[in-house]
Chains A and B, each alone.
Chain A
């Protein structure tokens, strides 16, 4: 019974995963730009637009399900988490686009090792979100929380490395400022990924309990 309703709930999960895949794509693009100085800003803006569109679609479908199907119990938990999660998923592409813009105009300098590590760690966190959204698994979601500790640790290391560059002044100093902004955005992206994971836990627990 309630075939259409069940299909709509599955559709919500699929759409969340698709939105997160867009985030992951944006993360791959900026990682490439950071390492190769390639201009990816147009492609990342495209991801941002796609994520905005997905956000609206998911919100519309959630609204429709609430109005027409009156979800309760764990179905309601899923809808609630979807409505909250899309905000975080949307912020990830926004911040990736900001990073792409900074990289486009950034003064040339060597990227600190800790920053490229941080970039990779943040990208992996977002990719983990895609897996977690595929299964709504508690283990995956918890692993994302743990990964954020790594990103936060790297942020501290980046700051330390950049402080040295600022002290040296000149072009290196200017570049260091840009790198610091990027690091801060990556740190925020990690936090958004954790939020996504927490909403997955909320929905998954409701389903399991």
Chain B
């Protein structure tokens, strides 16, 4: 049976209908097992933070949510990843449509070497938006949502590469929002930024969660504590603990989580 993946279907949170439902997810790079039987429900309109030491599998896990691992040779996946109830690894899944619904922001800001406007308009154009007025609207609304419109409205035709790192990262968030996703994946989005820019991105993430589901990988535990609703702690490919951020940071159930978040790990 062909899985159905409808565009912009918002299913509100609640244990019965998570945005992502991940079950017994194993991932191998060749013979190396990078994820071990991961189960996780990611709720809509929440920020889910993934923490853990380098190489623990948190970024790998993030990439399974929009099938970015597909392009890695020797990568094998088993188990289930459902988005709004549809298995994204089932045959017949339209990966382009999946990635339109699930946007990604990376560690290093990576704007295209083009104008601010073209960076934002590129995605909608490839998805068939041609009308100038419509593109103008998308550019403005995306930049507004990324809280950078006021800074850039007079520089839309200037190169995006001339922006500061923090502005570039918010531009990349605006670019991800331009194709109207309902999930935003962020892979260490502030680790290359100064504290002020970091603060702006954190603030932005908290505003965006009203309209989007956000999953953020971060090395910065304080960042996870500050902004997330749920926190997952990964270690050696296993999801050791996953729950409300308050509980994970105030009274972790697993000693390994406690050792990691208190800096005693290793």
Taking Cβ atoms with an 8 Å cutoff, the residues of A that contact B are 1-5, 63-64, 67-70
A68 with B226: CB separation less than 8 A: yes
CA distance A69 to B202 in the complex (A): 12
A67 with B199: CB separation less than 8 A: no
B48 interfacial contact with A, CB 8 Å: no
**Residue total for B at the interface (Cβ-Cβ under 8 A):** 13
**Chain A residues whose C-beta falls within 8 Å of the C-beta of B222 in the assembled complex:** 70
Q: A68-B226, A70-B222 are contacts. A2–B199 as well, Cβ < 8 Å?
A: yes
Q: For B199, give its contact among A1, A63, A64, A70 (CB under 8 Å).
A: A1
Interface residues of B in 192-211 (CB under 8 A from A): 196, 199-200, 202-203, 206
A3 with B225: CB separation less than 8 A: no
**Chain B residues whose C-beta falls within 8 Å of the C-beta of A68 in the assembled complex:** 225-226, 245-246, 249
A69 with B226: CB separation less than 8 A: yes
B16 interfacial contact with A, CB 8 Å: no
**Chain A residues whose C-beta falls within 8 Å of the C-beta of B200 in the assembled complex:** 1
Q: Kindly name the residue among A4, A63, A68, A69 whose own CB sees the greatest number of chain B CB atoms within 10 A.
A: A68
**Chain B residues whose C-beta falls within 8 Å of the C-beta of A70 in the assembled complex:** 222, 225-226
B250 interfacial contact with A, CB 8 Å: yes
List 7 other contacts, CB 8 Å, given A1-B196, A69-B225, A70-B225: A1-B203, A3-B206, A67-B246, A68-B225, A68-B226, A68-B249, A70-B222
**Chain A residues whose C-beta falls within 8 Å of the C-beta of B249 in the assembled complex:** 67-68
* B205 vs chain A, min Cβ distance (A): 11
* Proximity string of chain B (222-241) to chain A, C-beta cutoff 8 Å, 1 when within and 0 when not: 10011000000000000000
B226 with A64: CB separation less than 8 A: no
Q: For B250, give its contact among A1, A64, A69 (CB under 8 Å).
A: A64
Q: A67-B225, A68-B225, A70-B222 are contacts. A4–B246 as well, Cβ < 8 Å?
A: no
**Chain A residues whose C-beta falls within 8 Å of the C-beta of B202 in the assembled complex:** 1
Chain A, Cβ-Cβ closest to B248: A67
Chain B, Cβ-Cβ closest to A4: B206
What are 6 A-B pairs at a CB distance below 8 A? A1-B196, A2-B203, A3-B203, A4-B206, A68-B246, A69-B226
Chain A, Cβ-Cβ closest to B225: A68
**Chain A residues whose C-beta falls within 8 Å of the C-beta of B206 in the assembled complex:** 3-4
A67 with B203: CB separation less than 8 A: no
Q: Kindly name the residue among A5, A67, A70 whose own CB sees the greatest number of chain B CB atoms within 10 A.
A: A67
Chain A, Cβ-Cβ closest to B261: A67
Chain A, Cβ-Cβ closest to B228: A68
**9 pairs of A and B residues whose beta carbons are closest in the complex:** A1-B199, A68-B225, A67-B249, A1-B203, A67-B250, A70-B222, A68-B226, A67-B225, A69-B226
CA distance A173 to B206 in the complex (A): 66
CA distance A52 to B220 in the complex (A): 36
* A72 vs chain B, min Cβ distance (A): 12
CA distance A2 to B196 in the complex (A): 11
CA distance A68 to B231 in the complex (A): 12
Chain A, Cβ-Cβ closest to B196: A1
**Chain A residues whose C-beta falls within 8 Å of the C-beta of B245 in the assembled complex:** 68
A63 with B250: CB separation less than 8 A: yes
